[in-house]
Amino acid sequence: MTDLSLIFADLRFPEGARWHEDRLWFSDMHTGQVFRSNPAARTLEEIAVVDDQPSGLGWLPDGSLLVSCMLSRTVRRLGADGKTTVFADVSALTDAPVNDLVTDRLGRTFLGGFGYDLYADAAQKPGPIFSIDPDGTPTVAEDDMVFPNGSVILPGTATLVVAETWGARLTAFDITDDGALTGKRVWAELPSGSTPDGICVDTAGAVWVSSITTSQFMRVEAGGRVTRVITVEGRCATDCVLGGPQGTTLFLLTSNSWQPSETTARAGRIEAVEVDVPGPGPA
């Protein structure tokens, strides 16, 4: 058993966890809120509220925050006045919700899409990955993913790794200078039944994976070797990120369900555990 420290409770569906400017940032997907927090002091600050389901978070080179807005199929940008405006709109490129995102240091964003309406229990279809230029122009970079979800760029590389939730694997791409994705390959096959959701990377290049339906957080190396498993019995493991003073605090985000109609009890929470290998630093 692993002893976890409770950091925050009374959430619905915490997602989009990032460590940025010595703070833990995350969205509560089912309330529309985006938070910045000081985990040591257990304090929360509401940064933005959107009339949507916020998911992934990223930062442009000028420091402005990007928020994936799932239902409107947009990425919104938070201005200095505290208001959000549409930075990128992919609604003409997909009719299904969008999902998590990652933004690189040059301001290019990669955004995944469901491919079908999971909430309406529609038939499964392949999902896209969008490449969004620093000026907000989107293009379809990949159109054949099995529910693309959490994404990371491996430290010191131009390698994008994406969780395929219903494919039980992590898939990698090479990012070209113009933002195209090439060299699609399996980075790691996960244990049978795994459902990878949010992911984060450490300085050794291993990826921590939240497996939402198996209530597990796993540290996985390229090729698929699992070096550690943390189980959160009876809970949906939604996302994770490395942070804290030394970068060795693994924040674990969980909920009781991914369906908005079932999270009204506000059973979502964020817990923490110390691990051996630190994260690469700020998002």
The count of C-alpha atoms lying within 13 angstroms of the C-alpha of 74, restricted to the half-sphere facing its C-beta, is 13
Look at residue 281 in the predicted model and tell me its pLDDT: 81
User: Above 90 in pLDDT, residue 106?
Assistant: yes
Q: What is the 3-state secondary structure (H, E, C) of 122-163?
A: CCCCCEEEEEECCCCCEEEEEEEECCEEEEEECCCCCEEEEE
CB 14 within 8 A of CB 240: no
Interval 60-77: pLDDT, tens: 999 999 999 999 999 999
Of the pLDDT bands very low, low, confident and very high (cuts 50, 70, 90), residue 121 is confident
User: Above 80 in pLDDT, residue 172?
Assistant: yes
Name the amino acid, one letter, at 211.
S
User: Above 90 in pLDDT, residue 282?
Assistant: no
User: Above 80 in pLDDT, residue 96?
Assistant: yes
Of the pLDDT bands very low, low, confident and very high (cuts 50, 70, 90), residue 163 is very high
User: Above 90 in pLDDT, residue 210?
Assistant: yes
What is d(CA 102, CA 261) in angstroms, rounded to the nearest whole number?
Answer: 28
Of the pLDDT bands very low, low, confident and very high (cuts 50, 70, 90), residue 80 is confident
Output 248 or 121, whichever has higher pLDDT. Answer: 248
* 5-274, CATH topology level: Neuraminidase (2.120.10)
pTM higher than 0.85, yes or no? yes
Query: What is the mean pLDDT of the segment spanning 134-141?
Result: 98
Look at residue 82 in the predicted model and tell me its pLDDT: 84
Q: In angstroms, what CA-CA distances link 268 with 13, 27, 138, 159, 188? A: 6, 12, 32, 32, 28
- Where do the domains of the chain lie? 5-274
Output 123 or 1, whichever has higher pLDDT. Answer: 123
User: Above 60 in pLDDT, residue 1?
Assistant: no
